Structure formats: C-alpha cells, structure tokens
Amino acid sequence: MDLAYVCEWERWPKSTHCPSVPLACAWSCRNLIAFTTDLRNDDQDLTRMIHILDTEHPWDVHSVHSEHSEAITCLEWDQSGSRLLSADADGQIKCWSMADHLANSWESSVGSLVEGDPIVALSWLHNGVKLALHVEKSGASSFGEKFSRVKFSPSLTLFGGKPMEGWIAVTVSGLVTVSLLKPSGQVLTSTESLCRLRGRVALADIAFTGGGNIVVATADGSSASPVQFYKVCVSVVSEKCRIDTEILPSLFMRCTTDLNRKDKFPAITHLKFLARDMSEQVLLCASSQTSSIVECWSLRKEGLPVNNVFQQISPVVGDKQPMILKWRILSATNDLDRVSAVALPKLPISLTNTDLKVASDTQFYPGLGLALAFHDGSVHIVHRLSLQSMAVFYSSAAPRSADEPAIKRPRTTGPAVHFKAMQLSWTSLALVGIDNHGKLSMLRISPSMGHALDVSLALRHLLFLLEYCMVTGYDWWDTLLHVQPAMVQSLVERLHEEYTRQNAALQQVLSTRILAMKASLCKLSPCTVARVCDYHAKLFLVAVSSTLKSLLRPHFLNTPDKSPGDRLTEVCAKITDADIDKVMINLKTEEFVLDMNTLQALQQLLQWVGDFVLYLLASLPNQGSPLRPGHSFLRDGTSLGMLRELMVVIRIWGLLKPSCLPVYTATSDTQDSMSLLFRLLTKLWICCRDEGPTSEPDEALVDECCLLPSQLLIPSLDWLPVSDGLVSRLQPKQPVRLQFGRAPALPACAAVQPDGLSRAPGQPKIDHLRRLHLGAYPTEECKACTRCGCVTMLRSPNKTTAVKQWEQRWIKNCLCGGLWRRVPLSYP
C-alpha cells in the first residue's frame, strides 16, 4: 500500500472542523465519499456536518448542515450510489439525494424518526441484484462466465416483482424500524422489538439472505455476553408495514472461553457481517485498553446426532437426518494492538474451492482482504477468512516518500495519528481513512499485495476489474490509480479484444461505456492522450446520430416496415454513389418532414456534424501523425458511415429550411460545399467500410483533400478542456497534500495535451453538449463532468421539444457516464 493524497481542513479563527464522535464514513459505487465532522465555534456550539466529495476532486467538498440534533452514528449509500442515508443518536434518519443531479449539491426530502432512541445500525433494503465474480474464470471469453447473476430475492417487492425501496435500522434499545418508500412518495414506517426481552444494543449489523429475509446481529458491548442473531421478515399488509422477528442461534467469542484470556478483552468493539448479502459469516473484534483480538465465524448446517434407541425405532437415512444451524469459528488472530477501525471488501467474489484452501493460497485476488486500522497508526490488510496479514501500511503525521523505510519514521510523543473510520472502494483497490485529526487519506492497495507479479498477470487483474465495472456500471476511478503509462496501450487493446468476443446484444449495451473507459485510460499516457478527443467525439457522434434518427417518423404509423432510421442506414450502406442527391432519391423524403422550429433549434448540432466532416477530410493528408485528434476516424468505417448518413439527413432538412444547414466560409459563391464534402467522405468511406476490403486512400482523394483549405475555411474544433482532476497527476506515486475548499495548483500532468487542444486564458468557451458559444467570461451557471471535464449550461436556453429530448439524455450523467458538478462562472 502507498499513500495517494491527503486532504485536510483549513484552520479558521472562529470555527474549526473537528472529528465527530463517533465518526461515520461511506463510499459509493460512483466513487463518492461521505463522512462526518463537527463544526465547533468560539462558543463551543457544535454543528453536525456531512461532507460529500468526489475522489477525483476531493478539494471540491460539499458540506451539508445536516440539522441532526445529536451525533451522526451511521451513513449508508444506496445501491445506485445516488442517495445517502444518515442516522443520529436521537433516532432521526434522513434520506439525502442530489439536487439537480449535481454531485456537489444535496438536499433531504424524506426521513423517519424513532424519537430518543439512538440508531446503531442502518441499511437500505436489498433490491435483489447480486453478481458473483468468478476469479478462477478470469481468462474466459464470455462476460457471462466471469460474472454471473446470483438468484437473490429482494427484501420486499411491489406488484409485478419490482423491488420496493426503503431502509431498516436497529436502535440501542433493541428495536428494529423499517421505512418503505412508496412510488407516490409516501413513507410507511413500522417499529418492532427484536425479541420479547429487550436489552441494550451497543453494536449491531444488518445482512440479507437469498430468500428475501433480513438478519440482524447484535451485541451489548461486553465480551462476556452472547452475540445475538435475529431473522427479520418485512411485508405490507393492508397498506401497513409489518415486521416479524425470529431468534437465530447465538455465539460467544472464543477468547471468552479461553481461561488465559477470559478477562483480557472485556469489550466487543466491532461487529460486522463480511458482506451485506452474506449473513453466514461474521467478523468480531474484542478489545482492552491496549490490545485487541479478531475472530471470524461462519454459520453452518450440521447433522444432529440421533440416539441409538431412536435409530432402532426409526432409522435415519440420507437427507432425513435432522439438521441444526451452528456457529463455527473459522479463524482468529493473536493479540494485536488496539483496533480503531475496520473496512470490509465490497467485491462479491465467488469462491469455488473450499474456504480454507483458498484462504491459505498466497495468490491474491482483489476483494479477498479486509482492512484493520490500529491505534499505533498502522493499517493491515488481512485475508477475510484466514485473517492472515497480506499487506501493511504505516502512517505518519506528514506524507513521506513511498521509498522511505517504515522503520525510519520518527516516534512522536502523545497519541499516534490513527484512522477512526475507513472504507474500501468497490474494487478493493483503494482505501480511504479519516484520522483522529479530521484529515482524509487516500491509499492505493496494489492488486499484488506486495507479491512479485509479472506484467501480464498485473494487467490481467486490472483488466478483470475494468470488465467488472463495465458490466455493473460502477465507476472505475480506483482502478485507474494502478494503471501506469506503459500499461495503457496493452489495456486498451485487450479491453477491445474482450469486448468484441461478446454477443452483439451485449456489445450494443456496453458500446458507450467501453468508449468512456478507453478515453479515461488514454488520459494516463502522453502517447495516447490525443485519442481521448477521438473517443469523446465518437461518443458525441453516436448520441447525435441516435437522437436525429429518433426524430424521423414513418409516413403511415401502422406500417410493419423498418423504421426510417433503419431504412436510412440500409440505403446509405447499399448505395455507394458519391452524389448526395442520387442517394436522396432512394429515400422516402416524407418521413424526414419536421417542424420548422425544430429544425432551426437543431442547427448547432448539425453545424458540428458539418464542421467535423470538414475537419476530418482536411486532416487526411496528415494521417501519418497519430498525435493529431481525429486520426482514428480516418480508418473507422462505421463512424464514417454514420457521418455519411447524417449528411444525407441534413441535406434533406436543408431543402425544408435552408437556415438549419451548416454554414461554411467558401472562396466561391457558386460552390456546393455539402456535395463536395459528401463526395470526398464517400470515397474515404469506401476505402475502409466493413463490407469490402480495406485499402489506402488513393492519391487523387488525398490531393482533393489538400485543396480543401483553399476552398473552405477549416474550422478549429473545440475539444474537451484540460481535466483538472487528480488521477493523471498521481502516476509518480508521490503523495499530494490538498486542502478542502481550495483548488490546488497541481503540477502538469504526465499526459501533456497536444498542440491545439489547450485553451489560453480569456479564450471563448463553449457548451460541449449544446455546441453553443458561452463567451470568454460566461454569465450562465454551468456544470462540468467529474471525469472527462465536459462543460454545459445548468439551465436550458431553448424550450423546443427536440432540444429537450437531447438535453434529457444528459440530465443525470455526462456522455462518458460521469456525474455532474456545479462549477463557478470562471471555470478554466
């Protein structure tokens, strides 16, 4: 493990952020981190704060005055990573969601209350979606073999089997409360005792079973008391929420039955199921003032022995033997330093071999390790079953070089800096920790865990996790932390190979996601950074093509024939004529008739298509330079065919409303620019289309393209702005010190932008989705993508239906799938 960056609070004269007690932290599948602090002023008044940040821009933290009257005890993200639950020591639960779908703007609209009863455990109800990773099949060709859907029932379903949303919480007095979110927005809440004899619950955790039930584990904090388990069933009866509970087998920690250790660890300090959907395995930690011990237990079905007397009366044969559930200890550690925090893996790895055999294997697979933080400042990654140490990290008061031996770190007087809360990322390749000074630290966790791995095996680990993110839709920022510039080319090629092996339906579903993934990888190497522009341009081209085709309507609505968009593709692929008017003759032009206001509203998108075609053709003579943006389009028959189809559509619409046509600056007033560009584009497309053999463009075509700058003014396309994120600047593996609320002056990233892509200060800016010019100093509020840096206006200036349809595609996410964040008017 090594430190990636540290972010801390600025010291203010009249108020300061101090770690809350207890300190809660949560990490979402979209790589958003939420944590708590207390804001203390001169009068010693405390304001309970919730902070939410994106791991790529940790300084851009959004701080929420939670309005919780007591200390916040729990934070929990939902399965989509877009909503957050918070609970406090007064029994209040709040549900937070993004305002305007912005990652740095949050609001709370619903919640529930168990007045005066502190919440000790909190979880969203399970939605029934569970994926298993088969690491032993990481070399298989099909994604279906590597990642399989596990049969798992939701905690509660609506009519038709749709999972019902809601949350479950456990209170300190032994109550379980369930709140259900109805589609109408109403909240149904019910509270029930876990058992008839209620007792104090100091620690609790919640897990789910495949049958749709919920398992709750509780402990009163004393190691001399048993750890109790309960089954909770939730149902809706007569529009009311009903809760049924049942007692399950309990256990005593092994350390309390050992005569030598009976009184050595008096308190249970941590109680965690190994996974939310794994109620059969639980992790327990008992501690004293100076030391701790950790135990891993497993619930198993065992045959109940039958007395010989009853065997003679009724012999037990095969499956008829009575079974009983029993907790059995899997492993336990020796005496450790006092544990301050525990982080469990979220990667759903499926182990096909026996647990102990895999646990003793020295080969590391991401997700098999859990993290333990100690009061001496160290963090240990241990195997989740055997509890054997796999990696160690030693923190210090200040970031230091990863090459500095840990034994040389100076000893300081007073309590050591240690993590009070930790969370592992969803691929287990990164760890975030909040220490007792309120500082946030981001750690990389190597896939090899310090073992010597050859490059091919390291690439296979990263490729496997990138494929997992591609299939699930999770953000892959934490995987990029481990990609070195030398790996980028191989990863992109192998990712494309694996993608092309999938069936056509799956390829269509993942087509945009793999482009975004390739773009994020190419940012990390100076040799491939120009291809980032190509991938984003292709994402934009695909979006424009599908939107414009969706506006076409058949002349007769009940016709069983193909849609106008499909017919357009078929005609353009079949007719290779370079004359645009001859291609138009074969189309039913009545299907292209649109409202005049709609056509005019689309002019900016149509202008981009025309400018992009002109730019590509003008760059054909320089095709030997891969550092020039647009290079990959010159050999991409699919994209060129898409551009050719759009040129035909634009030509037809131009007959209806000439003002919607792309505007070109030509040297001759009589020149038909669109016909000229379509003819050259068709010749280039014929050279590399999928149906025929590929060939190099002939000299006549190259010569004609060389003459384009003398016939038309070549536009300067506005590519994406230089990203101000961190991941491309963390390649040297030197810790970066940051400050919350203050954008850093970061060193130049390793992947230097090619000529023509960087924007000088004061240069006019553009809305990358609407293709509108915003001026050098925009006056409209804007939002930017947290991943690719794409910028667009927050509010729509156009109310046309077609434009609304276009903008609705990007209301929640960017082209690349990244979240939006509000940016100041003076964005770079």
List residues bridging with 285 in a β-sheet. Answer: 270, 294
Handedness of CA 596, 600, 601, 606 (dihedral sign): positive
User: Are 443 and 379 spatial neighbours (Cβ–Cβ below 8 Å)?
Assistant: yes
60, 270, 3, 154: which is closest to 724 by C-alpha?
A: 60
- Whether a cis peptide bond, with omega within 30° of 0, leads into 626 is no
Residue 739: DSSP 8-state: E
268, 294, 267, 269: which is closest to 283 by C-alpha?
A: 294
The residue behind tokens 């059969």 is 280
List residues bridging with 164 in a β-sheet. Answer: none
At 361 the pLDDT is 42
User: Are 804 and 550 spatial neighbours (Cβ–Cβ below 8 Å)?
Assistant: no
Strands 203-208 vs 214-219: parallel, antiparallel or unpaired: antiparallel
User: Are 243 and 233 spatial neighbours (Cβ–Cβ below 8 Å)?
Assistant: yes
The residue behind tokens 């109940």 is 304
The residue behind tokens 């891969």 is 626
Strand stretches in 288-418, DSSP E:
291-303, 323-332, 336-337, 339-343, 369-374, 378-383, 389-394
User: Are 488 and 525 spatial neighbours (Cβ–Cβ below 8 Å)?
Assistant: yes
Query: What is the crossing angle of helices 603-619 and 637-656, to 10°?
Result: 130
At 315 the pLDDT is 67
CA-CA distance, 706 to 329, in Å (whole number)?
76
The one-letter code for the residue type at 558 is N
At 14 the pLDDT is 64
Q: Which residues contact 384 (CB under 8 A, 6 or more apart)?
A: 274, 283, 296, 344, 345, 368, 369, 370
> Backbone phi, then psi, for 335, in 5-degree steps?
-65, 130
- SS3 for 608-638, per residue? HHHHHHHHHHHHHHHCCCCCCCCHHHHHCHH
User: Are 249 and 326 spatial neighbours (Cβ–Cβ below 8 Å)?
Assistant: yes
Q: Which residues contact 310 (CB under 8 A, 6 or more apart)?
A: none
The one-letter code for the residue type at 798 is N
CA-CA distance, 359 to 364, in Å (whole number)?
10
Reading the block at residue 15, the tokens are: 């108020």
CA-CA distance, 790 to 784, in Å (whole number)?
5
The residue behind tokens 């045959």 is 303
Domain parsing of the chain, residue ranges = 115-306+320-338, 534-711, 759-823
* CB neighbour burial string for 498-511, b if at least 16 within 10 angstroms, e if fewer: bbeebeeeeeeebe
> Backbone phi, then psi, for 78, in 5-degree steps?
-80, 175
With a cut of 70, list the residues of the chain below it in pLDDT.
Answer: 13-15, 44, 310-320, 351-366, 396-415, 449-453, 557-560, 623-627, 692, 721-722, 731-733, 746-762, 826-828
Reading the block at residue 461, the tokens are: 């680990």
Indicate the pTM of the whole model: 0.92
Strands 147-149 vs 131-133: parallel, antiparallel or unpaired: antiparallel
Taking the CB of residue 387, how many other CB atoms lie within 10 A of it?
22
Q: Which helix (H) or strand (E) holds 171?
A: strand 165-171
User: Are 697 and 767 spatial neighbours (Cβ–Cβ below 8 Å)?
Assistant: no
CA-CA distance, 567 to 523, in Å (whole number)?
38
* Count of all residues that appear for the chain in the document: 828
DSSP-derived 3-state class of residue 459: helix
CA dihedral of 458, 460, 464, 466, whole degrees rounded to 10 = 70
Reading the block at residue 47, the tokens are: 């304001």
Burial (0-12, 13-18, 19+ Cβ within 10 Å), 567: middle
525, 715, 529: which is closest to 617 by C-alpha?
A: 715
Taking CA atoms, 804 is separated from 184, 230, 799, 801, in Å, by 25, 50, 7, 5
**DSSP class per residue in 380-404:** EEEETTT--EEEEEE--SS---TTS
Reading the block at residue 798, the tokens are: 């156009």
> Backbone phi, then psi, for 622, in 5-degree steps?
-105, 25
CA-CA distance, 502 to 510, in Å (whole number)?
10
* CB neighbour burial string for 621-642, b if at least 16 within 10 angstroms, e if fewer: bebeeeebbbbbbbebbebbbb
